[in-house]
Copies of this chain bind each other. A is one copy, B any other.
Amino acid sequence: MTIADGILFTDHYQLTMAQFVRMGMAERRTQFDHTFRSYPDYGSHQAGYCVAAGLEPFLAWAQAARFGPAETAALRRLRTAGGAQLFADDFLAYLSEMGGFSGLDVWAVPEGRVVHPNAPITVVQGPMVQAQLIETPLLHFINFQTLIATKASRVIEAAHGGAVLEFGMRRAQNANAASRASIIGGAVGSSNTGLSAELGWESKGTHAHSMIQVFMAVAGGELEAFRAYADVYPDDCLLLVDTIDTLESGVPNAIRVFERLRREGHRPVGIRLDSGDLAHLAVRSAAMLDAAGFEDASIVLSSQLDELTIWQIRLQIADEASRYGVDADRLLRRLVYGVGSRMATSDGDPSLDGVYKVVAVEEAGEWVPAIKISNTPAKTVNPGAKRLWRVYDDRGRASADLMALPEDDLSVRPLELVHPTLPGVHRVLPAARVSRVESLLEQVVAGGRRVGERGGVTEARDRRVSDIERLDPGVRRLVNPHTYHVSVTPSLLAMKRQLIERFGPG
């Protein structure tokens, strides 16, 4: 780890606060909840759910991060406004001795699971100095990957069974994290070679315009370039057909090469369209490929795709295909989507508003709830060391996420769910309306050590698939989704109200 990637990958104020709490409260056990405040909102179309991701990379970082000699030396160089040493030697010695995050317990909603705003997706308990110090990296790792897994999940929903490949690394802000989260969100592969290798996945790709251009500059044209490429990759021949003119040059040349491959006993993979009206060109290309007997060749679409573009392309194809004698359903099934920047950066809303707030402090063995009151009620934290449950209805569909006090009995029926901020808004679920109540948070760190099942991106992908299936279709809508219920128990709301009365202004 370089100094910029190690334990100092954190906000300056985490360290000034650590030195401050060192004067008395450093060892006091504190609980922080990591929640996000709202679904990503891409402008015209806000998400109706999120997909958790980033936990495992965060935990790997936390296991490795240490205050070593380079870190304390860097901190020793910082000065106060008056020119004195900002961090006292005894504090630096304390950090060195502490090492890393050995005192923390962490609970989390596993990667790949569907999650909702204002309910904890990560919970940290431990000595205040450690629990506070870990805030920034926790937010950095989990906010971003959750953002991208969510966007990817929407793109995958829009593709409606069509394969989605992640092609975003050249314009991604953080390519490796984006590729990983896209795979958790449902992409079937990524062009990112190193990250794919690290995950044990096969990286995917075709070729670029440059290959054709070089041929054109020195040795003939597009057809010669395609032929040469097919010689090297006879069984993986996927040709980019828009370097000169898609319908006049690219597709006819590709078909010539495919015919030769077929004669030689190979199965051409397909073509890629990277510019122009992708829906129209897909229909026209399909007609040409079909006429030549290549009904199975894939058509890969790329160029500024996101969930709305894919949706619109599919609609246009459904309208336009028959005019060219193409079966729309069959064409839609052969499409593959190469999705780049817009998925890898979450274009439209490039940050998740995840926050990490103190919710409880231990006092003589008891958890005392803590609160931050905001003039915006939705920003007032749900206080206390609490549990997070998912309530399933009689059809097995997720009906609400429910925060509860540890002593709340969730087996009682009817089950009462109240809104965390809107007074009087509540639902009462009789036994017949509740098929299951599931605990969402799993312990992943105990006393600084990784516990529980580790799982990779494959397990996370599977969790997403089952959670999405259990969502109401209205919540899955791409535009104007139905609002999923995030509720609290009556006893949790009562405790929150007491704290607001005690600590509120006036």
Chain A residues in contact with chain B, CB under 8 A?
Answer: 2-17, 19-21, 23-25, 28, 30, 32, 74-75, 77-82, 84, 86, 128, 132, 135-136, 139-140, 143-144, 147, 167, 169-178, 191-198, 202-214, 216-218, 221, 228-229, 231-233, 235-236, 243-245, 248-249, 267, 269, 275-276, 341-342, 344-347, 350-354, 356-358, 360-361, 363, 368-376, 379, 503-506
Contacts of A178 in B (CB 8 A): 173
Which of A7, A135, A207, A372: most chain B CB closer than 10 A?
A372
On whether A351 and B173 interact (CB within 8 A), knowing A15-B193, A195-B4, the answer reads yes
Query: Given B79, B197, B210, which contacts A357 in the complex, CB threshold below 8 Å?
Result: B210
Q: Is the CB of B351 within 8 A of A341?
A: yes
Contacts of A10 in B (CB 8 A): 169, 192-194
Which of A194, A371, A503: most chain B CB closer than 10 A?
A194
Q: Is the CB of A203 within 8 A of B170?
A: no
Q: Is the CB of B358 within 8 A of A351?
A: no
Residue of B nearest to A222 (CB): B503
On whether A144 and B169 interact (CB within 8 A), knowing A197-B74, A269-B81, the answer reads no
CA distance A243 to B437 in the complex (A): 35
CA distance A368 to B140 in the complex (A): 47
Contacts of A197 in B (CB 8 A): 3-4, 8, 74, 77
Q: Is the CB of B214 within 8 A of A244?
A: no
- Nearest-Cβ distance from residue A87 to partner chain B, whole angstroms: 11
- Nearest-Cβ distance from residue A364 to partner chain B, whole angstroms: 10
CA distance A205 to B206 in the complex (A): 47
On whether A140 and B11 interact (CB within 8 A), knowing A214-B25, A350-B350, A375-B275, the answer reads no
Query: Given B9, B143, B205, which contacts A12 in the complex, CB threshold below 8 Å?
Result: B205
On whether A12 and B204 interact (CB within 8 A), knowing A173-B173, A194-B3, A370-B213, the answer reads yes
Q: Is the CB of B20 within 8 A of A353?
A: no
Q: Is the CB of B505 within 8 A of A3?
A: no
Q: Is the CB of A505 within 8 A of B245?
A: yes
Query: Given B84, B169, B505, which contacts A244 in the complex, CB threshold below 8 Å?
Result: B505
Q: Is the CB of A11 within 8 A of B169?
A: yes
CA distance A505 to B251 in the complex (A): 13
Q: Can you report 9 A-B residue pairs in the complex whose CB atoms are below 8 A from each other? A: A4-B176, A4-B197, A10-B169, A11-B192, A14-B208, A80-B236, A144-B172, A144-B173, A248-B505
Q: Is the CB of A244 within 8 A of B202?
A: no
Contacts of A221 in B (CB 8 A): 503
Contacts of A347 in B (CB 8 A): 350-351
Contacts of A6 in B (CB 8 A): 194
Q: Is the CB of B194 within 8 A of A352?
A: no
Q: Is the CB of A9 within 8 A of B139?
A: no
Q: Is the CB of B140 within 8 A of A175?
A: yes
Q: Is the CB of A139 within 8 A of B170?
A: yes
Q: Is the CB of B236 within 8 A of A175?
A: no
Contacts of A248 in B (CB 8 A): 505-506
Contacts of A203 in B (CB 8 A): 12, 78
Q: Is the CB of B358 within 8 A of A210?
A: yes
- Nearest-Cβ distance from residue A499 to partner chain B, whole angstroms: 9
Contacts of A345 in B (CB 8 A): 173, 345, 350-351
CA distance A71 to B369 in the complex (A): 51
